[in-house]
Amino acid sequence: MRRTDQRRAAVVALYQRDVTGRPLSELVESQATPFTRELVEGTDSEIEELDALIARYAEGWTVDRIAPLERNILRVALHELRSREDIPDEVAIDEAVEAAKELCAREAPAFVNGILGAVQRQRAASA
């Protein structure tokens, strides 16, 4: 299974949890790959920090105003940027933008790219 599909599975599970309130243990498929599970579990364990980053860079938007699907695309990508050294920043950002193109409203890819790009630039400046 392609990593793109595994990322989408993680985003969908986190999205469904936000929308339905069901526990992630019910939403992650039993045959989910280790990569998908790590993305879900890692994102969930950092959710407060990830939402704080989103709020910081989403000028004029509160996290709860961002559509749940876009919010979870951002969360997974930010988890990858912060915690997955095996994934280049550009790949995490590109995957998130492509997911937004396929799954969200027309304005979403630019919004996702803007937030992730700002986070990446800040991280590069701090390094």
Share of the chain above pLDDT 70, in %: 100
Give the tens place of pLDDT for each residue, 22-58.
999 999 988 999 999 999 999 999 999 999 999 999 9
Give the tens place of pLDDT for each residue, 84-102.
999 999 999 999 999 999 9
pTM: 0.96
CATH architecture designation of domain 3-126: Orthogonal Bundle (1.10)
Mean pLDDT of the chain: 96
Q: What are the φ and ψ backbone dihedral angles of 21, each rounded to 5 degrees?
A: 80, 0
CA-to-CA separations, 74 to 16, 52, 90, in angstroms, rounded: 15, 12, 14
User: What is the total residue count of the chain?
Assistant: 127
Specify the pLDDT at position 56. Answer: 95
